[in-house]
Structure 1
Amino acid sequence: MTGEYFKLALLCALGLLLIIASVTDLRSRIISNRLNLGIAALAPLWWIASGLPVWPGMALQVGVALVVFALFATLFAMGCMGGGDVKLLGALALWFPWAAMLSMLMVMALIGGVVTIITVAHHRMTRTLGQPQIPYGIAISVAALWLIGERYLNHFA
């Protein structure tokens, strides 16, 4: 039973860090490296608490994170995403199995579209010069929070 409380505490910590990422991205369009490092550093504790074996479990999580990071780093290089967003996605990929990560990315894309529309509309209404900076960390964080919540809400279905 103590292990379940520890897992819940880790998920709460992740949730808090995701909320902080959303707020700081909305305010300053920056997701700090420390925040991303904190999310990544908690993942091995999650693996151990979840009973994930070193091989292939933990190795697969690292592999998924590397693939996600490489994919979104390519988008960063093309000017489509911010560096903090890419690091946040890589850190989150350490937490979730690949199938759950794919679900999260789909939800992120849908929420990201809404965030983009709202940001562009606000940019035009305020007649701000230059290109709008999309706070995509909001979409990433909300999608990850949805994924965390879904695991618990589906127990009632």
Structure 2
Amino acid sequence: MNAVQIVLLALLAALLVTAVVTDLRARTIANRLNLAVAALGIVWWFASGLGLAVIGLQVAGALAVLLLFGLAFALGAMGGGDVKLIAALALWLPPLLLIKLLILMSIGGGLLTLVMIAVKIGRRSEGGIEIPYGVAISGAALMVMANDILTIPRP
């Protein structure tokens, strides 16, 4: 892994932590943050020496994620910032790692939802719950980074 890649991963990690904090505080993830994640993903392609075929797969994956989770947004199941963050992260990942991210995100989101429901019941509060899915999305991305991206054997 070269120095540029290490810097890019550190920047991504910082952006993901920022997404967690802002999502917990205000239940929003800023468009600027999502744009930065997407833009750094494109820089990642060149820093990693990816070929056009791999880049094409990553763009296709990002578009598929945007469409799929855009439907969840349209149904009121997710916030727009969450959808944009998942799509931006998809630009970083080859298909198998993207699937791993989505699985980890789903598990984390489910656990987070259960915790939020338990808190709501414990407080006996009325009304709906806004789940900060940015926490699950960012946590899953950090796990994929730590387990798969940083540990890829290099020649």
State the shift of 1:127 in Å: 2.8
1:45 counterpart residue number: 43
The alignment of Structure 1 onto Structure 2 pairs a total of residues equal to: 152
Larger mean Cα displacement after TM superposition, 58-67 or 94-103: 58-67
- Give CA deviations for 1:57-99 in whole Å, capped at 9, x if unaligned: 2222111100011000011111111111100000000000011
Q: What percentage of aligned pairs have identical amino acids? A: 46
2:25 is the counterpart of 1:32: no
- Give CA deviations for 1:100-119 in whole Å, capped at 9, x if unaligned: 00011111111111110111
- Alpha-carbon RMSD across the aligned residues, in angstroms, is 1.4
State the shift of 1:10 in Å: 0.2
- Structure 2 unpaired stretches of 5+: none
TM-score, normalized by length of structure 2?
0.93
Q: Partner letter of residue 112 of structure 1?
A: G
2:101 counterpart residue number: 104
Please give the alpha-carbon distance, in whole angstroms, between the structure 2 residues aligned to 1:153 and 1:57. Answer: 19
Please give the alpha-carbon distance, in whole angstroms, between the structure 1 residues aligned to 2:12 and 2:123. Answer: 34
1:141 counterpart residue number: 138
Does the aligned pair in 1 maintain the 2:34–2:88 contact within 8 Å? Answer: yes
- Give CA deviations for 1:15-70 in whole Å, capped at 9, x if unaligned: 110010011101110011110001001111100000012x2122221111000110
Q: Partner letter of residue 108 of structure 2?
A: I
Does the aligned pair in 1 maintain the 2:37–2:89 contact within 8 Å? Answer: yes
Q: Partner letter of residue 69 of structure 2?
A: F
Please give the alpha-carbon distance, in whole angstroms, between the structure 2 residues aligned to 1:60 and 1:106. Answer: 19
Please give the alpha-carbon distance, in whole angstroms, between the structure 1 residues aligned to 2:146 and 2:47. Answer: 18
Please give the alpha-carbon distance, in whole angstroms, between the structure 1 residues aligned to 2:47 and 2:80. Answer: 30
